[in-house]
Amino acid sequence: MLVVTTETINGKNLEMLGTVKGSTIQTVNALKDIGSGLKTLVGGELGNYNEMMAKARTIATDRMIQEAEGMGADAVVCLRYSTSSIMQSAAEVMAYGTAVKFV
């Protein structure tokens, strides 16, 4: 499945099929959360949260692609991500875009 952030794909005529999305809510385990809390005392990158968010983006994107495939799409254009905090140490990541068919 071709997934792009642009509105068009060079050399392709597109038929818009509709909006597709995928989402997940992820958290790190309590021990990693405590370790990250201590890390804030000295500063620096929070690796556990980076890994969590990267995994969440992958899952959300895969779910969006599955929805697009179910619609018979050849590609998804205008890919965007949205995040929100659900509770302390938990975040939702949503991937969304427009499913299209090549004509």
Write down the pLDDT at residue 29.
58
| Helices 47-70 & 30-42 angle (0-180, nearest 10) | 130
Write down the pLDDT at residue 92.
96
Sheet harboring 2-3: ordered strands across?
2-3, 75-87, 90-102, 14-27
- Using only C-alpha atoms, the chain has a radius of gyration, in whole angstroms, of 17
Q: List the chain domain ranges.
A: 2-102
Angle at 26 (CA atoms; ends 20, 31), nearest 5 degrees? 170
pLDDT tens readout for residues 63-85: 999 999 999 999 999 999 999 98
**Superfamily assignment of 2-102 in CATH?**
Hypothetical protein apc22750. Chain B (3.30.110.70)
CB 94 within 8 A of CB 82: yes
Length of the chain: 103
- Given a cut of 60, is residue 30 above it in pLDDT? no
CB 35 within 8 A of CB 42: no
